[in-house]
């Protein structure tokens, strides 16, 4: 049985690490990380993760630009993307869902609930 894999994209290493801890603590998902939009695009293409958790506000290439690049690439357009961001207002949620984002999780997230939220948005079971 293939293990689900998730690519976590955030420019802050400690946020990457905490996200990884929170997901690994209650799931068997395989977590990889990327620190920039470009690295995310490269890894998405080469590793073909089952989903991507993407920060919005990143230097150089922000999350939405990264998402558009992933969508434009036939090899990565099928990968569901969840935004993990502190930049959420009601209008943001609407905008994100209109452009095809699978879901949005507000930061700061509750560490013990993150995996559950991700699983719900993706329709996965935690077991």
Contact with another protein (CB under 8 A) among 30, 47, 121, 122? 30
Taking the complex as a whole, how short is the minimal distance between the CB of residue 77 and another protein, in angstroms? 27
Task: Report the side by side order of strands in the sheet with 5-9.
Answer: 30-34, 5-9, 51-54, 81-85, 103-106
Distance CA 59, CA 52 (A): 18
Q: Give me the half-sphere count of Cα atoms (radius 13 Å) on the Cβ side of residue 67.
A: 25
74 scored as a contact of another protein (CB under 8 A): no
Structure tokens at 91: 């209008």
48 scored as a contact of another protein (CB under 8 A): no
If the CB atoms of residues 65 and 71 are measured against another protein, the closer one turns out to be: 65
45 scored as a contact of another protein (CB under 8 A): no
Q: How far apart are the first and last CA of the chain?
A: 12
Contact with another protein (CB under 8 A) among 92, 109, 121, 122? 109
Chain residues in the site for another protein (CB under 8 A): 1, 3, 11-15, 17-18, 20-22, 24-28, 30-31, 33, 57, 59, 85-87, 107-113, 127
């Amino acid at each position: 049985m293939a293990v689900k894999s998730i690519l976590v994209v955030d420019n802050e290493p400690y946020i990457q690490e905490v996200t990884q801890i929170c997901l690994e603590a209650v799931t068997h998902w395989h977590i990889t990380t990327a620190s920039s939009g470009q690295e995310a695009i490269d890894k998405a293409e080469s590793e073909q993760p089952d989903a991507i958790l993407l920060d919005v506000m990143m230097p150089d290439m922000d999350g939405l630009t990264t998402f558009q690049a992933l969508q434009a690439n036939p090899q990565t357009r099928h990968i569901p993307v969840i935004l993990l961001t502190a930049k959420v207002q009601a209008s943001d949620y609407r905008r994100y869902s209109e452009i095809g984002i699978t879901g949005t999780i507000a930061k700061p997230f509750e560490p013990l609930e993150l995996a559950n939220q991700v699983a719900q948005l993706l329709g996965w079971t935690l077991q």
